[in-house]
Amino acid sequence: MYLTSEEEKMYQGQYGPAVQKSMEILVALGDIYQAEKMVEITSAQISGVSYKTIGDAGLEFLEEMAQSARVRVPSTLNPAGVDLDHWQELGFSKEFTKRQLRIVAAYQKMGITTTCTCTPYLASNLPILGSHIAWSESSAVCYANSVIGARTNREGGPGALSAAICGRTPLYGYHLESGRKASTVVEVKTELKGADFGALGYLVGKEVGGGVPYFQMINKPGPNDLKSLGASLASSGSVALYHVQDITPEYHLAMRGLEVGDVELMTVEESDIREVREKLSSSPRKPDLICLGCPHASLDEVGEVASLLNGKNLDNDLWVCTSILVKAAADRMGYTDAIEKAGGKVVTDTCMVVAPIEELDYQVIGVNSAKAAIYVPSMCGLEVVYDDLENLLYFK
């Protein structure tokens, strides 16, 4: 793989052991994927933050890296295992939180912004069309490639951290024009709303695996619908990029140069969506905790919850997961107050999957995210109900 003289210096250890180790990781990745060279990046988003997922080995690795490593490009963190400010009132243990705070401190020492969110594009880390970036949260990767039109592979935590430290990533896959072509045309023959978008993503992700779906839809999805669609495409399959005809920025390039027979065809009917929605629920019981914000809620999603709750009293616990930046705006808009008055909480920095919610006293979690419906049973060992927001809320 070709390295510039600056990259060669990193590789040879002239910038210290942390940079050297990072460049070694990038070169190894480049060799595996047959990248010819590196490309400079403008942004990084790093997963591997929750103590629940990385444990003591991850914590020790990060503390060692933080001795000397510093990032070269604006970089943000994925969600952590607790709300960094309100962990105690949510019931998380001191022991877990102590280790979690050490992980976040190590990242911060490396110069990474500790916004701890999977929707960095709503919280100060917003790349521009065509820019090369190294992101690792799969739903954010899908959003960045598809809705923003930036270019990233599905990085692992160490790959994204190495890219942030070196300011480069190997040039292959979704960084190249050739990696961004459609592989399957998906004709959606029914109008979608709410949790239907997650169900569609689940269905198509399972079918296309790591392919690039090209959707033809009756309705025009908004940013929150696309966020939800991408998250489930990336969870049931390993989709990193999709196109929506007439909506996403590169849809007109997705088919260019392709021959008949280069793409598969798939049709989705109303009955397919209904079937997936039923399948994604693992319990018929009333949820005792509703968790919204997977991926982390946008300000208008928090506002929608606030208006549904206004003046009412919840009969189940409720977390609306989001970033600290969106919460600050929600506080000012009075949304947080309305949600808290009804008995819910606006939770920052974490989510229902990467937090140790299995240690709290809940059995059934209500979600409107297909990604959460996939991961809560496997990562937390709890049952889920998957439905539209309005159907999940119970009032006294």
Q: What is the largest CA-CA distance in the chain?
A: 67
Beta carbons of 320 and 309 less than 8 angstroms apart: no
122 binds ligand F3S (CB under 6 A): no
Among 305, 354, 364, 373, which residue interacts with ligand F3S (rule: CB under 6 A)?
354
Closest to ligand F3S by CB, 139 vs 146, is 139
Query: Does residue 188 bind ligand F3S (CB under 6 A)?
Result: no
Q: Are 165 and 21 in contact (CB under 8 A)?
A: no
Interaction between residue 327 and ligand F3S (CB under 6 A): no
CA-to-CA distance for 208 and 203, rounded, in angstroms? Answer: 9
> Per CB under 6 A, which region of 89-97, 101-109, 367-375, 386-394 contacts ligand F3S?
367-375
Residue by residue, DSSP assigns 9-21 as HHHHTTT-HHHHH
Q: Select 43 or 232, whichever has its Cβ closest to ligand F3S.
A: 232
> Is residue 325 a contact residue for ligand F3S (CB under 6 A)?
no
Residue 167 interacts with ligand F3S (CB under 6 A)? no
What is the rounded CA–CA span in Å between residue 245 and residue 254? 9
**Cβ proximity of 360 and 254 under 8 Å:** no
Interface with ligand F3S, residue 118, by CB under 6 A: yes
Joined tokens for residue 214: 């090209």
- Angle of the 324-333 helix axis to the 299-309 helix axis, nearest 10: 40
Q: Rule CB under 6 A: is residue 106 a binding residue for ligand F3S?
A: no
Restricted to residues 130-149, the positions that interact with ligand F3S (CB under 6 A) are: 139
Sole window of 195-203, 205-213, 266-274, 346-354 interacting with ligand F3S (rule: CB under 6 A):
346-354
CA distance 217 to 238: 21
Total of chain residues touching ligand F3S, rule CB under 6 A: 15
Q: Binding to ligand F3S by residue 231, rule CB under 6 A?
A: yes
Q: Are 290 and 309 in contact (CB under 8 A)?
A: no
Least Å distance between CB 202 and ligand F3S?
A: 14
Nearer to ligand F3S, 294 or 309 (CB): 294
Q: Where are the alpha helices (DSSP H) in the chain?
A: 5-12, 17-32, 51-65, 87-90, 94-109, 138-143, 157-166, 196-208, 223-236, 270-280, 299-309, 324-333, 335-341, 370-375, 389-392
**What span, in angstroms and rounded, lies between the C-alpha atoms of 104 and 365?**
27
Give yes or no for residue 81 binding ligand F3S (CB under 6 A).
no
Kindly write out the interface string for residues 305-324 of this chain, putting x where it contacts ligand F3S by CB under 6 A and - elsewhere: ----------------x---
- 3-class SS string, 221-284: CCHHHHHHHHHHHHHHCCCCCCEECCCCCCCCCCCCCCCCCCCEEEEECHHHHHHHHHHHCCCC
Q: Which of 103, 299, 353, 373 binds ligand F3S (CB under 6 A)?
A: 353
Residue 202 lies near ligand F3S (rule: CB under 6 A): no
Min dist. Cβ of residue 319 to ligand F3S (A): 10
Stretch of 68-76, 280-288, 303-311, 370-378 lying at the interface with ligand F3S (CB under 6 A): 370-378
79 binds ligand F3S (CB under 6 A): yes
Note whether 356 binds ligand F3S by CB under 6 A. no
- Answer for the pair 233, 199: CB distance below 8 angstroms, yes or no: no
Q: Is 391 left (phi over 0), alpha (psi -120 to 50) or beta?
A: alpha
**Does residue 351 belong to the site contacting ligand F3S (CB under 6 A)?**
yes
Please pick, from the candidates 52, 154, 277, 371, the single residue that binds ligand F3S as defined by CB under 6 A.
Answer: 371
Query: Shortest Cβ distance from residue 351 to ligand F3S (Å)?
Result: 3
- Per-residue x/- mask for ligand F3S, residues 268 to 297, rule CB under 6 A? --------------------------xxx-
- Residues forming the site for ligand F3S (CB under 6 A): 78-79, 118, 139, 231, 294-296, 321, 351, 353-354, 371-372, 375
